Amino acid sequence: MLAFVSSLHANLPVKMMMEYPQYRMLEGTNSLYAIEGPRHAVEFQPLGSTEWLIHAHFASDYPRFLWLQELLQEAAQSKVISKEQFYERVRARTVRESFSKLGRFNARAAFETLTLESNVELQPLTTFGVASIAHHHVLACSDDHVRQAIVAAEQNDWELLILGGGSNVLMHSDWKGMTLQQGIKGIEVLKDDGNCLEVAVGAGESWHDWVLYAVEKGWNGLENLALIPGSVGASPMQNIGAYGVEVKDRFLWLEAVNRKTGELHRFDHAACEFGYRESVFKQKEKNLWVIVRVAFALERNAPLHMEYGAIQSELQDLQSQEITHKDISEAVMRIRRSKLPDPAELGNAGSFFKNPILDARSFQQVLSGHPKVVHYPLEHNTFKLAAGWLIEQAGWKGKRLGNCGVHEKQALVLVNYGDATGQEIWELAMAIIQDVRAKFGVELQPEVNQIRVS
């Protein structure tokens, strides 16, 4: 890694004003509040003479929302204090260890300087393994780190690129702005009634590791999504899915930091506007938020999803009443490993193209010319075509062009044989798109994000 490390604050001659966090003290009680948004606050409540008891609040109903507004408006003995005054008071006591560490306020790390690195190689941080350098790079391990990085990028006029697991990007060139690697970790059970659980997970956790952890704990519902590369924070952005299950099926909410105001905001299921490999974060809210944690609704007695023939074939030696959620996760991993290359050995980003979805008229036009086209009926009289089948029938499966090619076992996967540039891989993708359009009249869309010069 060609990195030069410096203090981030050294490059910030003028402070960019963000609306949040705001700091308050409740006169007469010595309670402190770090207000992160209109519905989010962290309360530091004195416990005895030497400790703080900390509560993270989300104003889910009107009374709690009104209470937070009163704090913001300096009503009911609420008094504005500076960040320096806030932490000076916080440091006067110790903090109970039980407080959640999912990226929220951590008093012991107050004023921790975010490390800025220069000229960082992105090749090991992306699964395609394309040579590329970020002129500026930070690893953000908390909400406050995210805000510091946003301020630095704004003040230095650096375009900001968010990196999760680096599994859904193709770098076409060096990145002249700043890359923010999501490093917020942690898994926390918020509710558990014996069957149903609400579990919050830091955006920087590995998606696959999180799925395996949940399966081992008996928190079921995500097992069909095992071995998908990437981070937890990226999973709702494109509504990842496999073998009959999508993230939206188990999604409860996510929290994200606004890139203009610093506000921490909670998006529920409806607000995310999930679609096929789509969400509001890839459309009208694109580049406006940094996702910091995601919550899932899981069940100990969740139904098994075994509709796909490949899963049934893997489990054919087991009696149906014997099959467990762990069996399904292991079957999915065997299937994926048999068809998909390991990015550690052969650079790739998984499925490069989306499966096209057609209306009834367009589908009939394709079907009339190609009766064997692999397809799946969807709601609203639409049809999903298998992009891999289209690419394979067009003759691209296993084809190599220079340093890149189409994987020999899965036509949806483009691979880097070692020295391919992002531009070379993109030219291959464009050739496939043009050929499929000419032969089938179907327009393929890339699922992988194309990252060009900032």
Active site members: 277, 351, 447
Structure tokens at 339: 């068809």
Q: How many CB atoms lie within 10 A of CB 419?
A: 13
Which residues does residue 44 pair with via DSSP β-bridges, in sequence order? 32, 54
* 362 Cβ neighbours under 8 A, 6+ residues apart: none
In 333-432, DSSP assigns E strands to 347-351, 357-359, 375-377, 382-385, 400-401, 404-406, 413-416
Smallest CA-to-CA distance from 172 within 133, 201, 200 is with 133
83 half-sphere exposure, CB direction, 13 A CA radius? 11
DSSP of 131-199, one letter per residue? --EEEEEEEE-SHHHHHHHHHHHHHTTPPEEEESSS-SEEE-S-EEEEEEEE----EEEEEE-SSEEEE
State which H helix or E strand residue 312 sits in: helix 309-314
* Helix/strand/coil for 265: strand
Specify the DSSP class assigned to residue 431: H
Distances (CA, A) of 409 to 371, 380, 399, 406: 23, 33, 11, 9
Distance between start and end Cα atoms, the chain:
21
> What is the side-by-side order of every strand in the sheet holding 251-258?
187-192, 196-202, 289-299, 251-258, 264-268
d(CA 179, CA 25): 36
Non-local (6+) Cβ contacts of 205 within 8 A are 185, 186, 187, 231, 232
Task: Name residue 300's amino acid.
Answer: R
Phi-psi region of 23 (alpha: psi -120 to 50; beta: other; left: phi over 0): beta
Q: State which H helix or E strand residue 16 sits in.
A: none
Q: Determine the Cα–Cα distance for residues 244 and 223; give it in Å rounded to an integer.
A: 11
User: CA dist 85 to 27, 146, 151, Å?
Assistant: 14, 22, 21
Q: Can you spell out the DSSP letters for 27-93?
A: TTTTEEEEEEETTEEEEEEEETTTEEEEEEEE--SHHHHHHHHHHHTT-TTEEEE-HHHHHHHHTTS
